[in-house]
A and B are shown apart, each in its own frame.
Chain A
Amino acid sequence: AQKVTQAQTEISVVEKEDVTLDCVYETRDTTYYLFWYKQPPSGELVFLIRRNSFDEQNEISGRYSWNFQKSTSSFNFTITASQVVDSAVYFCALSELGRALTFGSGTRLQVQP
């Protein structure tokens, strides 16, 4: 069975601080996909990134970066120079070969001005 663990329930930072959200996963498959979604206070789920299990290259998109390490089964998400608009719940998720997503419990990020 697959499992996603987001040990940080809530993080509070001050604007412009960097923050890293942790994600650890478990799966028996060799081919799988990892995702991050953002859920702002309005409630929708916004797709941020997908990585497949064969691509361990880190990715950067603006202030967002992701660090995928198969050796530790982790897929961490860093926001650089956080802004108030980054306040949201962030979910890490795992999918095996296009099947349904298994979500972590989410990390609530509060960015204070």
Chain B
Amino acid sequence: DAGVIQSPRHEVTEMGQEVTLRCKPISGHNSLFWYRQTMMRGLELLIYFNNNVPIDDSGMPEDRFSAKMPNASFSTLKIQPSEPRDSAVYFCASSPTPGQGPRSYEQYFGPGTRLTVT
């Protein structure tokens, strides 16, 4: 089985540009999470979806960030306009429906997108 797929793997952009990060969760997983990793703040949740519906977006830094999950196999995280402080590694993770099966609650991570905003 393919794991969580993220694209692009690396993105370098200039301040003010729009950035779109993409994620394909593991097939059959009903929960999808976006995390951000920085040296200063470590790994922190941005938003998570269950059955394509956003459940908790309290970690989204500000209105410049938006996330969508139009279907069970695709999600995007958009930053518009981007700023240098958005530079980080953005991880997408997916997990099975909570409470169903022995692997429930286990989150599997994609390889991450390293974003650099100059």
Contacts and interface: CB of A to CB of B under 8 A. Distances in A.
Given A43-B112, A44-B111, A50-B105, A97 B91 contact: no
A43 to B, nearest CB: 6
Interface residues of B, number: 26
Interface residues of A, number: 22
B37 to A, nearest CB: 9
A98 interface: yes
Contact of B98 (A50, A97, A101): A97
B101 to A, nearest CB: 12
B95 interface: yes
A33 B48 contact: no
A112 B77 CA distance: 39
A105 B114 CA distance: 19
A95 interface: yes
Contacts of B56: 99-100
B91 A45 contact: yes
A90 interface: no
A35 to B, nearest CB: 8
Contacts of A43: 89, 111-112, 114
Given A43-B89, A106-B42, A98 B104 contact: yes
Q: Which of A97, A100, A101 has the most CB of B within 10 A?
A: A100
Interface of B: 31, 33, 35, 42-45, 48, 55-56, 59, 89, 91, 93, 95, 98-99, 104-109, 111-112, 114
Closest 3 CB pairs of A and B: A98-B98, A45-B109, A100-B45
17 contacts: A43-B89, A44-B109, A44-B111, A45-B91, A46-B109, A47-B106, A50-B106, A97-B98, A98-B95, A98-B98, A98-B105, A99-B48, A99-B55, A100-B59, A101-B33, A101-B93, A106-B42
